[in-house]
Each structure stands twice: as structure tokens, then as C-alpha cells.
Structure 1
Amino acid sequence: MKALTWHGKGDVRCEHVPDPTIEHARDCIIKVTACAICGSDVHLYDGIIPSMESGDVLGHETMGEVVEVGSGVSNLKVGDRVVVPFTISCGECFFCKRGYYSACERSNPDKAKATKLWGNSPAGLFGYSHLLGGYSGGQAEYLRVPYADVGPLKVPGGLTDEQALFLSDIFPTGYMAADFCNIQPGDTIAIWGCGPVGQMAIRSAYLLGAERVIAIDHVPERLELARQGGAMTLDFKEEDIYDRIMDLTQGRGADACIDAVGTEPDIGSGFDAVVDRIKVATFMGTDRPHVLRQAIMCCRNFGTVSIVGVYGGLLDKIPMGSAINRGLTFRMAQTPVQRYLPHLLRRIEEGEIDPSFVITHRASLEEGPELYKTFRDKQDGCIKVVMKP
């Protein structure tokens, strides 16, 4: 089959790889009908996620048609149309039983590596390094889905692939970011990053009752899409974000702040952002947490900082004194997608949101390598790429 494969920093190829096969009774195989390039994939493209191996198949936003099921899968049959969560979860362990599917204790065969780095292991993920299971991803013609009796969600016939695809990751992630904020009537939510997850967080914040959303970015088309979602926008290259948020909130700060950027922000406007970039370039640091620092400083006393942007290592110069003395709450996670799927599917079916609004580019797998670069460099108005193998 054809698939997008990783061969080093900035080197993604479309090439032929072996077709997946059933390896366990709880597996299924799907024929991929739609997949996407995620902002998290850019971290792989930029070579900052450890334990990638040449030839690894990429991708964790995938849906398609079931073409084979293992003997232990009774909830799916050949021909079912499903969307696949990026988190691989057994459904039976301590964490899965509590709804924390992204902390599954059984799905990461590379658990020892992850534990050495992080103190314990999260769930395995599709297409995201041999730190998180070494599973082949879904930017391919076919995908093996482990624990298929727990993960894939059947898609109703009335929804298009493009409406359902983002249930795999960015819609639940954006929704979780807003859900973490414990939004109350009248709340102002500030969101850093107007990429796909940020866009979903904007709309989710309003779905959950926010009165005002302030969205921060500098890419014109992303800011425009945020405005279309009802947000007030700030360009961090044109104005001081802290001063503007304080001005807009009568000096109090935002009720909650969402970091939807993570470890690879654009250069930013502060000296600390420049220092971050130098440290990472000279191997003196692993991550660039400029956005997180700013979110902490812009949050009101006893507010919430919600973190869904990806960080992988150690963060430097985080203003914990500010957070502790002002009573901030931090909430963060890899998204336990299965926890949110039924509820978010209903919202789509009832017309409350159509996640396909974020798509700007539609392509084939063969066009994928070039579109990785286009997406990473924010060229050609690219906000979200969907590929149809």
C-alpha cells in the first residue's frame, strides 16, 4: 500500500509499504477514506520528537471503512464506517475504566522508554514514535487498529467524512481545552494559537457558555477564521498581549487561558522567546514555553491555565511564583478521545458545529510530503490539510 513515511527531519515520503494484517483478536483493519496532517505531526517533521525510526508510517487523524475484523471484535463488522481516536486504549485497565483513555496502562509496548523519560507511560498513539508504541499511523491506504472493540466510533450515514474526521483528534482536543476551563456565564477565555486546535477551542468555548473569547496569533488567515468563529483577535507581533488583555479585562486578567501552541511557537515578541530558541538550537533546552509563560501571567487570580499544546521535555523559567501566589489551576492532558466521542458526535449531528470549517487544503497521499512543508511554513493560507487515499 501507499503511505506517508518519516525518514528524518524535514523528510517525509510517499512510498509503498507492506499492507497491515490482523495481529491480535481485538484488531481490525480499515481502508482509509480520509486522513489529515495535524499540528502535532509538525513536531515529527521538525525532528524534535525522539525515538522516530526511518520508514515509520505517520498520521493519527484517520477514518475509513472496516475491511477485516479480528475474532475478538463483536461491535464492528466489515463495511462499517468508523472514525479512529488517536489514543489507543484497552478499555479495561485502571485508567480506561475511569475514562482516562490516554493514560491506558496496556497499549504502549514501549512503556519502559516512556517511563524513563516521564516517570510513567501514557497510552500508545498512532504514528507517533517508538516512545509511544511504534504503531503505524493512518496517513496510508490501510490502517491496523488495535483494541478495535474500544476505539473506533461508527459514523452515521448522514455525515460526510469531512464532518466526522476531526473527531479523531482536533475537535475533542479543542473541546477538552475549553472543558478544562470550567466556563461560567460571563467568562472571558484567552486562547493562544489559532491553528486547527485553537479554532476548535474557540467554538467549543462558546458552546460551553463563554461570553467572550480572545484569540492570539499573527497569521492573517488564522486570525480571520477566528473572527468568523466570534473571537476578538490580537496579533502578538503588533501589540503587547499582556497589556491588551489587562486592558480588556479591567486589569483582572482572563478567567482562563488556553495554550493551544506548545513547544514550537513562532518567535514571539518577548526576549524570553528569543532565548528559548537559542537554547533549543544549541541543545541547552528541549522546549520553548514562551506561550505558557504568557498565559500564566495573563490569567486572573484563581483562574485556570489549560494546556493542550504539545510539550515533550523540560520547561525552563516557568513563573511558578506567579501561579502559586495567585492560586492558578493547571489542567493538561493528551486527550482521552473516547471519553468525548459520543457527546461530540451528537453536537455535530444536531448541527451545533460542523468541524469541516477548518479545512483549507484537500489532497492525495502523493501530495502529502509537499503539504507537510506548506502546513509547517503556514504558506498558501494553509490551516488544515485533508488527504483522501
Structure 2
Amino acid sequence: MRALRWHGKHDVRCDTVPDPVIEDGRDAIIKVTSCAICGSDLHLYDGFMPTMEHGDILGHEFMGEVVEVGRDNRALKVGERVVVPFTIVCGECDQCKRGNFSVCERTNRNHEKAEKVFGHTTAGLFGYSHLTGGYPGGQAEYVRVPWADHTHVKVPDSLTDEQALFLGDIFPTGWQAAVQCEIEPTDTVAIWGAGPVGQMALRSAVILGARQVVVIDLVPERLAMARAGGAITIDFGNESVVERLKDITGGKGPEKCIDAVGLEAHVGHSFDSVYDRVKQAVMLETDRPHVLREMIYVCRPAGTLSIPGVYGGLLDKIPFGAAMNKGLTFRMGQTHVNRWTDDLLRRVQDGQIDPSFVITHSVSLEEGPAMYKTFRDKEDGCIKVVMKP
């Protein structure tokens, strides 16, 4: 089969590799009909995530048709359409029983590595380094899905791939980011980053009843898409985020702030941006946390910071004293996808939202390596790439 594989920083190739096979009775083999490049994949492309290995198959946002089922898997049948969540879940451990699927205690087959780095293991993830299990990802023609009797979302025939695909990652990720804010009808929600997750967080905040939503970015196409979703926008390349948020909120600051950027914040020539890049270059810091610093500074006292943006390692110069003295609440984490998918699938079916709005490019798998660069560099109006194996 054909698959996109990581061969080093900025080196993604479409290679021919062996087809996956059933390895456990709970497995399923999925013929991929649609997959996507996620913003989190760019952290791998840019070389910021540790424990990637030469030849790893990328991708954690995919769906398709069940073509083979393990002998112990009674939840799936050959021919069914499924979206596969990026978090692999057993459905039986203490965390899964609590709905904390992204910290499943059983699915990370490299749990010893995660325990050394994080103190405890997290769930296994598709296509996202050996720290999270080293599982081959979904930017491929076929995928083996472990624990597939729980790691799936069945898709009705009434929905297209484009409507359903993002139930595996960016839609529940944006939704969880907004739910974590516990939005009140009087709230201003500020979202840093108008990429795919930021766009989903915006629309989720609107559905959940925010008084107003402000989206902060630099790219004209992303800002235009955010305005189409009902946001007030701030172009941080041409105006002060701090001053604009003061104006919008009457000097009080937003009650709720969402970091949909993560470890690769791009903030031009601000002092802390230069500082982060220098420390990163000499390996004294792994992540660029400008957005996190700015959120702590502008958030209204007693407010909430929700962080769906991925961070990978060590952050420097975080104003934790300000966060503590302002009484801010931090809520963060990888997405508990299966906690939200029943509700979100119903909302798509009811016409409350069509997640396909975010797609700007649809290409073949062979075009994927070039699209990684296009997406990373925000060229050609690229906001979300879907590939058709």
C-alpha cells in the first residue's frame, strides 16, 4: 500500500509499505477513504516532537470502510463506515470509565517511555511518535486499528466523508476547548489561532452561547473564515492584541481564553519571540509559549484558560505569579474524543454545523508531501487539507 512516512525534519515521502494485518482479536483493518493533515502533524514535520523514527507512518485524522475484523471484535462488521478517533481507547480502564479517554491506561504500548517523561502514561495515539505508542497513522491506504471495538465512531450513510471526517480530531478538540471554558451568556471568549481547531472552537463557543467571540491571527484567509463564523477578529501583525482586547471588553479583559496555537507560536519580532527562538536554537527550551504568556496577561481575573494547542516539552518565562494572583483556572489536555462524538454527530445530522466548511484543499495521497509545506507556510489560502487515498 501507499503511505506518507516521516524521514526526518521537513522530509515526508509517499512510500510503498506492507499492508497492515490483524494482530489482536479486537483489531480491525480500515480501508481509508479520507484523511487529513492536522496542525499537530506540523510539529512532527518541523522536528519538534521527540521519539519519531525514520519511516514512521503519519496521520491521526482519518476515516474509511471496515474490511477486516478480529475474532473478538463484535462491535464492527465488514462494510461499515467509521471515523477513527486519534486517541486509542480500551474502554475498560478506570480513566476510560470516567470518560477521560486521552489518558487511557492501557493503549500506549510504550507506556514506560511516557511514564519517564510525564510521570504517568497517556493513551496511545495514531501516527504521533513512539512516546505515544509508535502506532502507524492514517495517512495511508489501509490502517490497523487496535482496540477497534471501542476506538471508532460509526458514520451513517446520510453523511459525506467531508461532513464526518473531523469527528476524529479537530471538531471534538475545538468543542472540548469551548466546553472547558464553562461559557456563560455574558462571556467574551478570546481564541488565539484561526487554524482548523480555532475555527471549530469559535463555532463551538457560538453554539454554547458566548456573548461574543474574538479570534486572533495573522493570516487574512483565516481571519475572513473566522468573521464568517461570527467572530470579531484581531490581526496581531497590524494591531496590539492587548489594546484591542481592552477596547472590546471595556478594559476588563476576556473571561475565557483559548490557546489553539500551541508550541509553535509565530509572533514576529516581539521580545519574547526572539528570546524563545534563541533558546530553542541552543536547545535550552523546546516550545514557544508566547500565546500562553499573553493569555495569562490579558485574561480577566478569575477567568479560565483552555489549552487544546499541543505542547511538547519545556516552557520558559511563564508568568505563573500573575496566573496565581489573578486566580486563573487552567484546563487542558489531549481530546477525550469519544466523550463528545455522539452529541457532535447528532449536531451535524441536525444541521447545526457542517464541519466541511474548513476544507480548502482536497488532494491525492501522492500530493501529500508537497501539501505539508503548503499548509505549514500558509500558502495558497491553505487552511485544511483532505487527502483521498
Q: Which category describes the TM-score, using the shorter chain as reference length?
A: over 0.9
Query: Once superposed, what is the RMSD of the aligned Cα atoms?
Result: 0.7
Distance 1:182 1:273 in 2: 31
2:43 corresponds to 1:43: yes
Matches within 5 A, 1:67-82: 67-82=67-82
- Alpha-carbon distance, 1:82 to partner: 0.4
Cα displacement (A) at 1:37: 0.2
Identity of aligned residues (%): 67
Distance 1:49 1:201 in 2: 24
Q: Please state how far the C-alpha of 1:121 moved relative to its aligned partner.
A: 1.3
Provide the rounded CA distance (Å) in 2 between the counterparts of 1:114 and 1:47.
19
| 1:18 matched residue in structure 2 | 18
Looking at structure 1, the residues matched to 189 and 259 of structure 2 have their Cα atoms a distance apart, in angstroms, of: 11
Indicate the SS of the match to 2:302: strand
Task: Give the match for residue 366 of structure 2.
Answer: 366
Per the alignment, residue 152 of structure 1 pairs with 152
Preserved CA contact (<8 Å) 1:5 1:15: yes
Look up the SS of the partner of 2:292 in the other structure.
Answer: helix
Query: TM-score of the superposition, structure 1-length normalised?
Result: 0.99
Residue by residue over 1:97-128, the C-alpha shift from the partner in whole angstroms, topping out at 9 and shown as x without a partner, is 00000000100011111111111111000000
Secondary structure of the residue that 1:209 maps to in structure 2? coil
Listed one character per residue, the Cα deviations across residues 257-309 of structure 1 (whole Å, up to 9, x for unaligned) are: 00000000113453111111111112111111000000111110100000011
Aligned to 1:320: 320
How far apart are 1:75 and its partner, in Å?
Answer: 1.3
Per-residue CA deviation, residues 307-352 of structure 1 (Å, 9 max, x unaligned), is: 0111011111111111111110000010010111101000100000
Q: Structure 2 regions of 5+ residues with no counterpart?
A: none
Partner of 1:272: 272
Which residue number corresponds to residue 308 of structure 1?
Answer: 308
Q: TM (normalized to structure 2)?
A: 0.99
Residue 203 of structure 1, CA deviation: 0.2
SS of structure 2 residue aligned to 1:301: coil
Which residue identity lines up with residue 383 of structure 1 in the other structure?
I
- 1:120-140, Cα deviation, whole Å (9 max, x unpaired): 111000000111101000000
* Residue of structure 1 in register with 2:356 after alignment: 356
Counterpart AA for 2:273: A
Counterpart of 1:83, as a letter, is V
SS at match of 1:300: coil
Are 1:237 and 1:269, in contact at CA under 8 Å, matched by a contact in 2?
A: no
Q: Which residue of 1 aligns with 2:171?
A: 171
Name the residue aligned to 1:98.
98
My pick for the range that moved more, 312-321 or 267-276, is 267-276
Amino acid in structure 1 at the alignment position of 2:135: Y
Q: Which amino acid aligns with 2:166?
A: F
**In structure 2, how many angstroms separate the alpha carbons of the residues matched to 1:55 and 1:71?**
30
Name the SS of the counterpart of 1:15 in structure 2. Answer: strand
Pairing 1:54-73 to 2, within 5 Å after superposition: 54-73=54-73
Instruction: Indicate the SS of the match to 1:41.
Output: helix
Once the two structures are superposed, what CA deviation does each residue of 1:332-387 show, in whole Å capped at 9, x if it has no partner? 01001011110100010000000000000000000000000000010000000000
What letter corresponds to residue 332 of structure 2 in structure 1? Answer: M
Structure 1 residue 234: deviation in Å? 0.2
**1:328 & 1:145 partners in 2: Cα distance?**
39
Q: Residues 31 and 65 of structure 1 are in contact (CA less than 8 Å); yes or no, is this contact kept in structure 2?
A: yes
User: What SS does structure 2 have at the residue aligned with 1:67?
Assistant: strand
